[in-house]
């Protein structure tokens, strides 16, 4: 049977290539999404500046299983504890904070950020002195060699450095060079005491150097026992997480993306492989009928088909392993390039995604083989010979049940999205797969639906297309299964592309418009040197023509609830200017009371948390610090901007840089252009300050959305690309199989132009049916998603998106049918008939 199966493959090169390509590309895409999922779950990062420390002790980066978004600093007293652990030779405390060198009063800018550290931490990279000496007293600093070169500094000279929002003058004690180019950021070193003071008195991490002859694993275990639950001990590639606070918070984004699109990919690949292989087996009905007629048993036919499928699936999976890894790297590259995850995060693709891709492909092929080949294997020889030319039977109980499962599944997800899910990052997890399931359900019923729709279109087609339309309608009526095979993959393409792209365009519009409406300020001051010192906002308020000014700090935190911590957006503001800067209509209390240990939130959130004005709200800030602020105000809920508001002076110290990065400015009515000039002059006097209109905040927020959108578009493009290849495979295979039919038509008097006209009308029918079904399927994603986002049944986005998708589908249909037919009809009609 192996010999027969392998010998028959070479006589069906077209169907062999189509089936192999579907399996190969499907396995590669599934493997790629699996690698993305594994990367998100493991979330490891290579060490950079701390590469010289085999063991790193740092603050816990999660609370109640939720990742923290800010650096969780640790107690300096742990340095002594770690140093006393068994096998530790040296414990080196490390701190990091923004430190920007000025040249001619302006920040030195480059491809990297600039941070200050204690000199003790220089050995962890390591850095070595190329000139001068280490900083020995306050007011002295060591610059890395590249920074010193750009600043034109040398030992003994003075440089201005912005730290904690204030410009201070330091003497250059030395110039250091790093070995290995591990640290991508510019480095400024101070004395250890001064660096710790500038960092707020706490330390970021502790680099552990093991004693000679002691293994890293043994020392790490000893350190874990010593520090207990007061810190986290990292080794290997996870050490880089100590330098990238907040990286773990991107795990959810990566995992959600991989899960949502991975699920869709698996379903699409299974359908694509099954439909391509099923079509191939349908086209071989005559061959299998002849085999039955000469004595082959159903069991032998099933073995032959299974053997062929096994050969194709194993070969395609084996060849797809390396490209699958490349696909995963491409997807991960899109995430790192757009800033969803730091570039230092390590991409992982082990044996699990490889195995998943192999299993999905093999199962899809095996399932298609079982269902598509069973009728030919079981039918009596004479009946099989008669049936092989008809190809109109398609309905079966298992097919109906499978279609109902997918249709009900898609509708259930759509209803769940509209009635249960709330606006948030997980909304797409139910909205996205809904159209995929519904598409597959419609595709399973496509022969019957196609027959009905063609009957409805009969009169207009006959009226508009004459003889070509008549021939096309006759073909559609007698070969509805064949036409449905062409319709099904196009339904998948249109449904998924339309649903996903309009889902993203709706998200972009809602985010941009809601953020824009929430900002009442006219201007925004931005700091590029680590944040504004406390007195800057007062200077802004004192500027002639300024009505109000408020600092703005953004972060994320956690609200402690009986059922677990709930993450929430946080905004830090100034009580004196928040009412004029942000649209927060007060319903209870007063926003002017936002001072010290206080918080304001929406009335909806207050109801969820069970608090009112005067109550304390237990929560943790972005760095894990536990606080219990008093609720001083409630404001009207904005479903698109659901954040808690705290005093900027309270929130800022618990962010990465410890200072506000933005100041919102509201001007007096009729202030004119003069206030802009005065604000620009003030910005010029504060190094690293940029002045912009407030709408730039909405643009930057939308830019964040576009970061995720770029990742979404990359994955969607891959899915749609696979669906498009499936469309082309199907149509080309069907068209080439009909060469004898076209030859007979030409022998009976039809011209090449008439045959091509018939195919054109068939293509129009296929496109109309697929567009109707694909649009219907996409509605299961678009409608519930839009209802949750905008309370509208219609999505936000240009009609051009839909027209481009449908237009692209039409090009695929006509390109994959007319071109092969035109090329095939260049040979004599007699030869076409004989070749069949």
Is residue 709 pLDDT above 70, yes or no?
no
Would residue 50 count as lying in a domain?
A: no
Confidence of residue 134 (pLDDT cuts 50, 70, 90): very high
Q: Which stretch of 337-346, 406-415, 577-586, 631-640 has the lowest confidence by average pLDDT?
A: 337-346
Cα dihedral: 176, 179, 183, 189 (round 10): -20
Confidence of residue 461 (pLDDT cuts 50, 70, 90): confident
Residue 666 burial (C-beta neighbours within 10 Å; 0-12, 13-18, 19+): buried
Taking only the tens place, the pLDDT of each residue in 393-446 is 666 787 788 889 999 999 999 999 888 887 766 777 788 888 888 988 888 888
Is residue 4 pLDDT above 60, yes or no?
no
pLDDT score, position 233: 93
Q: Which stretch of 13-27, 44-58, 310-324, 801-815 has the lowest confidence by average pLDDT?
A: 13-27
Taking only the tens place, the pLDDT of each residue in 196-206 is 988 888 899 99
- Tell me: do 67 and 137 sit in the same domain: yes
- Tell me: do 229 and 295 sit in the same domain: no
pLDDT score, position 681: 92
How many C-beta atoms lie closer than 10 Å to residue 451's C-beta?
19
- Tell me: do 458 and 545 sit in the same domain: no
Would residue 305 count as lying in a domain?
A: yes
More confident residue, 258 or 137: 137
Would residue 403 count as lying in a domain?
A: no
The predicted model gives 554-568 an average pLDDT of: 88
**Size (the chain), residues:** 836
Taking only the tens place, the pLDDT of each residue in 260-313 is 777 777 777 777 777 766 666 666 666 676 777 777 777 777 777 777 777 778
- Tell me: do 101 and 239 sit in the same domain: yes
Would residue 174 count as lying in a domain?
A: yes
More confident residue, 543 or 293: 543
Question: How is 314-365 classified by DSSP, letter by letter?
Answer: HHHHHHHHHHHHHHHHHHHHHHHHTTSS-TTBPP---HHHHHHHHHHHHHHH
In this prediction, what percent of the chain has a pLDDT beyond 90? 31
The answer to pTM > 0.85 is: no
- Nearest to 154, CA basis, from 162, 163, 142, 166: 142
- Tell me: do 720 and 607 sit in the same domain: no
- Nearest to 471, CA basis, from 822, 742, 824: 742
Taking only the tens place, the pLDDT of each residue in 18-55 is 777 777 887 888 888 888 888 888 888 888 889 889 99
Q: Which two tokens stand for residue 93?
A: 């405390």
Confidence of residue 389 (pLDDT cuts 50, 70, 90): very low
Angle between helix 752-790 and helix 397-419 axes, rounded to 10 deg: 40
The predicted model gives 334-352 an average pLDDT of: 78
- Nearest to 269, CA basis, from 466, 496, 98, 570: 496
- Tell me: do 288 and 326 sit in the same domain: yes
- Tell me: do 764 and 632 sit in the same domain: no
Integer Cα distance of 147 and 161 in angstroms: 12
Q: Which stretch of 678-682, 735-739, 813-817 has the lowest confidence by average pLDDT?
A: 735-739
Domain count, the chain: 4
- Nearest to 511, CA basis, from 709, 261, 250, 792: 709
Is residue 239 pLDDT above 50, yes or no?
yes
pLDDT score, position 833: 57
Q: Which two tokens stand for residue 322?
A: 């390396």
More confident residue, 777 or 673: 777
The predicted model gives 679-703 an average pLDDT of: 75
pLDDT score, position 211: 93
Residue 100's H or E segment, with its range, is strand 97-103
- Tell me: do 306 and 379 sit in the same domain: yes
Integer Cα distance of 572 and 550 in angstroms: 9
Is residue 387 pLDDT above 50, yes or no?
no
- Tell me: do 272 and 285 sit in the same domain: yes
φ/ψ of residue 137, rounded to 5: -150, 165
**H-only helix segments in 420-535:** 428-444, 446-478, 480-518
Is residue 353 pLDDT above 70, yes or no?
yes
The predicted model gives 732-755 an average pLDDT of: 71
Question: Which of 205, 231, 248 is at the close of a domain?
Answer: 248
Task: Provide the domain limits for residue 271.
Answer: 1-43+249-390
Is 788 in contact with 503 (CB distance < 8 Å)? no
Would residue 417 count as lying in a domain?
A: no
- Tell me: do 39 and 129 sit in the same domain: no
Is residue 326 pLDDT above 70, yes or no?
yes
Confidence of residue 706 (pLDDT cuts 50, 70, 90): very low
- Nearest to 768, CA basis, from 491, 499, 492: 491
Sign of the torsion formed by the C-alpha atoms of 539, 540, 543 and 547 = negative
Q: To the nearest whole number, what is the mean pLDDT of the chain?
A: 82
Integer Cα distance of 33 and 39 in angstroms: 10
The predicted model gives 611-635 an average pLDDT of: 94
Would residue 395 count as lying in a domain?
A: no
φ/ψ of residue 640, rounded to 5: -95, -10
The predicted model gives 807-819 an average pLDDT of: 80
Is residue 128 pLDDT above 50, yes or no?
yes
Is 663 in contact with 542 (CB distance < 8 Å)? no
The separation between CA 714 and the C-alpha centre of its own chain, rounded to angstroms, equals 9
Q: Which two tokens stand for residue 479?
A: 């070969």
Is residue 795 pLDDT above 50, yes or no?
yes
Is residue 111 pLDDT above 80, yes or no?
no
Q: Which stretch of 251-265, 566-580, 598-612, 752-766 has the lowest confidence by average pLDDT?
A: 251-265
Those residues whose C-beta lies under 8 Å from the C-beta of residue 108, and which sit 6 or more positions away, are 100, 101, 102, 114, 147, 150, 151, 186
- Tell me: do 770 and 677 sit in the same domain: no
Would residue 450 count as lying in a domain?
A: yes
Is residue 174 pLDDT above 90, yes or no?
yes
Integer Cα distance of 358 and 356 in angstroms: 5
More confident residue, 342 or 587: 587
Question: Could you give the C-alpha distances from 171 to 11, 113, 530, 685, in angstroms and in order?
Answer: 82, 21, 21, 23
φ/ψ of residue 163, rounded to 5: -135, 140
Integer Cα distance of 163 and 634 in angstroms: 36
Would residue 404 count as lying in a domain?
A: no
Question: Which of 248, 271, 288 is at the close of a domain?
Answer: 248
Query: Beta 166-178 vs 140-144: how paired, if at all?
Result: parallel
Question: Which of 669, 693, 717 is at the close of a domain?
Answer: 693
- Tell me: do 687 and 778 sit in the same domain: no
């Amino acid at each position: 049977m192996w010999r027969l199966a392998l010998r028959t493959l070479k006589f069906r090169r077209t169907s062999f290539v189509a089936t192999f390509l579907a399996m190969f590309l499907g396995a590669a895409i599934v493997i790629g999404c699996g690698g993305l999922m594994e990367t998100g779950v493991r979330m490891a990062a290579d060490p950079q500046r701390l590469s010289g420390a085999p063991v790193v002790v740092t603050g816990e980066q999660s609370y109640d299983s939720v990742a923290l978004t800010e650096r969780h600093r640790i107690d300096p007293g742990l340095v002594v504890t770690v140093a006393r652990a068994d096998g530790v030779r040296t414990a080196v405390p490390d701190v990091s904070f923004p430190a920007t060198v000025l040249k001619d009063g302006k920040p030195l800018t480059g491809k990297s950020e600039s941070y200050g550290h204690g000199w003790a931490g220089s050995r962890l990279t390591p850095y070595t002195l190329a000139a001068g000496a280490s900083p020995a007293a306050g007011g002295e600093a060591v610059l890395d060699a590249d920074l010193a070169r750009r600043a034109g500094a040398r030992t003994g000279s003075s440089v201005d450095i912005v730290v904690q929002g204030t410009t201070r003058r330091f003497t250059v004690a030395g110039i250091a060079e790093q070995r290995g180019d591990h640290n991508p950021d510019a480095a400024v070193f101070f004395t250890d005491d001064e660096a710790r003071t500038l960092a707020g008195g706490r330390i970021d991490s502790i680099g552990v150097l093991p004693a000679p002859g002691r293994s890293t694993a043994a020392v790490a275990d000893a350190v874990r026992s010593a520090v207990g639950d007061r810190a986290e001990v990292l080794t290997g590639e996870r050490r880089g997480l100590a330098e990238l606070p907040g990286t773990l918070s991107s795990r959810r984004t990566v995992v959600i993306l991989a899960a949502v699109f991975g699920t869709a990919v698996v379903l699409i690949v299974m359908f694509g492989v099954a439909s391509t292989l099923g079509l191939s087996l349908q086209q071989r009905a005559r061959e299998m009928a002849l085999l039955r007629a000469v004595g082959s048993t159903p069991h032998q036919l099933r073995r032959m088909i299974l053997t062929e499928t096994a050969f194709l699936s194993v070969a395609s999976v084996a060849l797809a392993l390396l490209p699958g890894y490349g696909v995963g790297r491409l997807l991960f590259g899109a995430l790192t390039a757009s800033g969803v995850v730091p570039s230092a995060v390590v991409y992982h693709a082990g044996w699990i995604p490889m195995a998943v891709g192999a299993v999905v492909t093999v199962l899809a092929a095996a399932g298609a083989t079982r269902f598509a080949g069973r009728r030919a294997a079981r039918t009596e020889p004479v009946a099989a010979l008669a049936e092989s030319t008809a190809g109109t039977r398609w309905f079966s109980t298992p097919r109906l049940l499978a279609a109902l499962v997918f249709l009900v599944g898609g509708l259930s997800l759509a209803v769940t999205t509209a009635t249960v899910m709330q606006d948030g990052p997980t909304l797409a997890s139910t909205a996205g797969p809904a159209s995929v399931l519904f598409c597959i359900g419609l595709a399973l019923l496509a022969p019957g639906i196609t027959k009905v729709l063609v009957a409805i279109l009969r009169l207009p087609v006959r009226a508009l297309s004459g003889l070509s339309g008549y021939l096309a309608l006759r073909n559609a009526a007698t070969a509805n299964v064949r036409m449905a095979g062409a319709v099904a993959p196009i339904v998948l393409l249109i449904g998924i592309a339309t649903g996903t792209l309009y889902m993203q365009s709706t998200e972009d519009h809602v985010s941009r418009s809601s953020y824009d409406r929430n900002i009442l300020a006219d201007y925004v001051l931005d700091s590029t040197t680590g944040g504004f010192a406390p007195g800057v906002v007062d200077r802004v308020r004192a500027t002639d023509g300024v009505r109000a000014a408020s600092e703005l700090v953004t972060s994320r935190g956690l609200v402690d609830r009986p059922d677990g911590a709930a993450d929430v957006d946080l905004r830090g503001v100034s009580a004196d200017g928040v009412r004029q800067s942000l649209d927060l209509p007060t319903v209870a209390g007063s926003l002017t009371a936002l001072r010290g240990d206080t918080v304001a939130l929406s009335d909806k959130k207050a109801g969820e948390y069970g608090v009112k004005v005067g109550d304390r709200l237990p929560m943790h800030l972005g760095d894990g610090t536990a606080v219990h602020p008093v609720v001083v105000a409630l404001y009207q809920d904005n479903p698109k901007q659901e954040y808690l508001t705290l005093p900027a002076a309270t929130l800022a110290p618990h962010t990465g840089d410890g200072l506000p990065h933005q100041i919102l400015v509201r001007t007096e009515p009729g202030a004119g252009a003069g206030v802009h000039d005065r604000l620009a002059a003030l910005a010029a006097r504060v190094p690293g300050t940029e002045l912009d209109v407030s709408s730039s905040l909405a643009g930057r927020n939308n830019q964040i959305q576009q970061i995720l959108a770029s990742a979404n578009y990359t994955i969607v493009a891959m899915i749609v690309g696979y669906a498009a290849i499936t469309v082309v495979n199907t149509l080309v295979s069907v068209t080439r199989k009909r060469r004898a039919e076209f030859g007979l038509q030409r022998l009976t008097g039809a011209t090449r132009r008439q045959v091509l006209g018939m195919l054109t009308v068939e293509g129009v029918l296929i496109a109309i049916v697929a567009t109707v079904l694909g649009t219907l399927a996409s509605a299961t994603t678009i409608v519930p998603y839009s209802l949750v986002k905008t309370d509208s049944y219609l999505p936000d986005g240009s009609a051009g998106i839909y027209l481009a998708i449908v237009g692209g589908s039409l090009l695929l249909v006509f390109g994959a049918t007319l071109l092969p037919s035109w090329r095939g009809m260049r040979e004599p009609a007699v030869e076409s008939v004989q070749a069949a």
